[in-house]
Amino acid sequence: MKLYIAYFALVSATLAGGAMAAEVAPEDVKIVDGAIEQPLTDTAGDPERGLETFTARKAGNCLACHYVESLQEKYQFHGEVGTPLDGIGEAYTAAEFRAKLVNPKTELPDTIMPAFYRTTGFNRTAGKFEGKTILTAQQIEDVIAYLMTLKD
């Protein structure tokens, strides 16, 4: 009977479009030696969705600071403030990317890159953004999957 109820709940949530992926809460994420080994969600990152988040001006907006040559024709106005990202998928592991996206200030305290998966420790946060992250756990994992494709 318990198995039937669990199966029914899973099918119902799936049919209703419910998210079954577990995700790590921002306050539970720990950066150790410049890395976060465990993914933030149990759903693997999707590089195509990662590219969407990476290029979206109202989401990741990564192109505001970073340059990616392969995106130059389709997306204009790449930034020159951040590191150029061509070949970056060979330079870092997914765990290192995860730490850089969650809170880059851990390794680079003076960086202007925002902490994409934090909810505390900010100065002058507008009320409507209190307690919210810039990106979701899944968006972080998707962007990591995209960054891992940037190889020479």
Domain locations in the chain?
Answer: 22-147
Sign of the alpha-carbon dihedral angle for 152, 56, 102, 64 = positive
Q: How far apart are CA 29 and CA 135, in angstroms?
A: 14
Report H helices in the chain.
2-15, 47-55, 94-102, 137-147
The predicted pLDDT at position 8 comes to 35
The verdict on domain 22-147 having CATH code 1.10.760.10 is: yes
The predicted pLDDT at position 5 comes to 36
Strand partners, 32: 35
C-alpha pair distances (Å), 105 with each of 10, 14, 64? 39, 38, 18
Residue 26: Cβ within 10 Å count = 19
Region of 45 on the Ramachandran plot (φ > 0 left; ψ -120 to 50 alpha; else beta): beta
10-residue mean pLDDT profile of the chain (152 residues): values are: 38 41 90 96 97 94 94 90 95 97 92 90 74 93 98 89
The predicted pLDDT at position 139 comes to 97
- CA-wise closest residue to 112 among 43, 45, 65: 65
The predicted pLDDT at position 2 comes to 39
Helix (H, G, I), strand (E, B) or coil at 124: coil
- In one-letter notation, the amino acid at residue 52 is E
- CA-wise closest residue to 62 among 152, 151, 150, 121: 150
Helix (H, G, I), strand (E, B) or coil at 128: helix
